[in-house]
Structure 1
Amino acid sequence: MILRLFCIMLILFSLAGCVSGKSRSAIKPGAMISLPQAKNDIIDYHESGEYYKDVNVLAKSIARRVKAAINGKVRYPAVVMSVEDVLLSTYNARRKQGFSDNSAARKDLYSHIILSRLPAIEPSVALFEFLLSRNVPVFIISHRGEAVRIPVMENLSKAGFSGWKSLYMMPPNYPADLNYNEEVRRGLQKLGFNIIATVGAVPDDVAGEFTGKAVLYPNYIYSSRK
């Protein structure tokens, strides 16, 4: 299921021009499907419950890793989690815009963020509560800027996420050649925390060092953040 949907999203991006890039590979004729079918398959994946089953499997794998760290008496264990499509879902907002990434779609998504309207991803709520019950601090990273810190905090609270250790927002004019997520993890490591797992929705979220168990939630709505 995951591999099939990954292929579907590659087709969707190629046909709709949702994601920019220096070059695009040709799609083999046998793999070609229609754009409406690709969108329908994404919707079916989410609304059939398969998406949540896959996320639940990943969330439980993180819980097992944390249990093992605690039983192994790892000092100062911690977990790092991204906001969008890890804790809060952008699916409804993106579906409304046909999963496109044009300026209108980005503005609409931003309005959901400003109004703190993004719903929780339920398996992440259960994982979050488990971590807090074991006194494992959760550090949250958002790729959004400081201008939306308060709405993001309110959204997290409304969705059932409270008690996290710190929320890191993207600094202004951050160098393009640095991975902010990795730099945050590097700082936590220097403070003495042992990161047991890092949970993201796009590869940059879990790229680089100090990830512990690197976990990518299934995400077929976009391949990179803008």
Structure 2
Amino acid sequence: MASPTSILSLLLLAAVVSSAEVIRMYPREHLVRLDSDPECESWKFSVEVNAAGSWSSIPRPCVSFVQDYFNTGRYLSDSISVASYSENFALSVNVADGDGMDAWVFDVDETLLSNLPYYKDNGFGSEPYNETSFNEWVYKGLAPVLPASLTLYKRVKKLGFKIFILTGRAEFQRAVTEQNLIDAGYSGWEKLILRGREDEGKKAIVYKSEKRDELVKQGYRIQGSSGDQWSDLMGFALAKRSFKLPNPMYYVS
């Protein structure tokens, strides 16, 4: 039986190998600085695990930290990690043959599509949300794909899951949203669900829970759910497993 000392040595060796792999994957200029602000790192951690609760803007001292997070390999790496865990779970689900009732729910913004070009031009979330300018950006239909999410999307579709796209975007944005998704490489979803007039004024967590509940009442088993906001994933009619993508730019309740 291996001694605690030898086990610890193996773990340390694994950590070194893992670090070497990361350095090989990302050129040094794309790695976050080792002197990264620990207070901002802790703030981001609290945001991602929902310990911070509702928040309206990035603390001023952490704006450059968030910029670095998105402009370096860390955001990409975190997104890949979430997609990997999601795929492992998807592979563990016994999708019923011929049933067609196993479902996976995806959010759109910062989940399937990235609005990073817009936020780069608008302070990375350091400024209050401007609905008018954001809608103008949406209507351009230029939001790029999140590569890790596209890989996951294609994988769960191939496994036989019915895919539902549930977004907080409004019904009048359906055409541009559909085209943007198609241009980004997505196809074959079962239904794209957007906010209708009856959903106006509802908090995101209520609206999304109600829409998931409608799917459950239709007989669908929501096995997986992917979103960048806790309000995408919490509430009721929950998925068997929910996967939170990183987003330290804004919070939607």
Name the TM-score, length of structure 2 as normaliser: 0.72
> How many residues in Structure 1 have an aligned counterpart in Structure 2?
205
Retained in 1: the 8 A contact 2:229–2:244?
Answer: yes
Deviations 1:35-80 (A, max 9, x none): 2x51211121112111111111111111111111127879622110
Distance 1:6 1:172 in 2: 39
Which of these residues, 72, 77, 83, is aligned with residue 59 of structure 1?
A: 83
Change (3 A) 1:6 1:116: farther
Offset at 1:19? 1.8
Distance 2:241 2:39 in 1: 21
2:173 is aligned with 1:148: yes
Which of these residues, 62, 83, 86, is aligned with residue 38 of structure 1?
A: 62
The structure that has the greater radius of gyration is 2
Distance 1:102 1:9 in 2: 21
- Which segment is superposed worse, 167-176 or 40-49? 167-176
Indicate the residue corresponding to 2:131 in structure 1. Answer: 106
Retained in 1: the 8 A contact 2:40–2:65?
Answer: no
Alignment map for 1:11-160 (pairs within 5 Å)? 19=56, 35=60, 37-70=61-94, 76-98=101-123, 99-102=125-128, 105-160=130-185
Give me the identity figure in percent.
Answer: 22
Which segments of 5 or more consecutive residues in structure 2 lack a partner in the other structure? 1-35, 48-54
Indicate the residue corresponding to 2:251 in structure 1. Answer: 223
Superposition RMSD in Å: 3.0
Retained in 2: the 8 A contact 1:8–1:38?
Answer: no
Change (3 A) 1:172 1:125: same
Distance 2:242 2:71 in 1: 26
Indicate the residue corresponding to 2:242 in structure 1. Answer: 214
Which segments of 5 or more consecutive residues in structure 1 lack a partner in the other structure? 12-17, 21-32
Retained in 2: the 8 A contact 1:93–1:108?
Answer: no
Distance 1:219 1:73 in 2: 36
Distance 2:212 2:149 in 1: 20
Retained in 2: the 8 A contact 1:86–1:199?
Answer: yes
SS at match of 1:214: strand
Retained in 1: the 8 A contact 2:40–2:62?
Answer: no
Change (3 A) 1:150 1:53: same
Offset at 1:173? 4.4
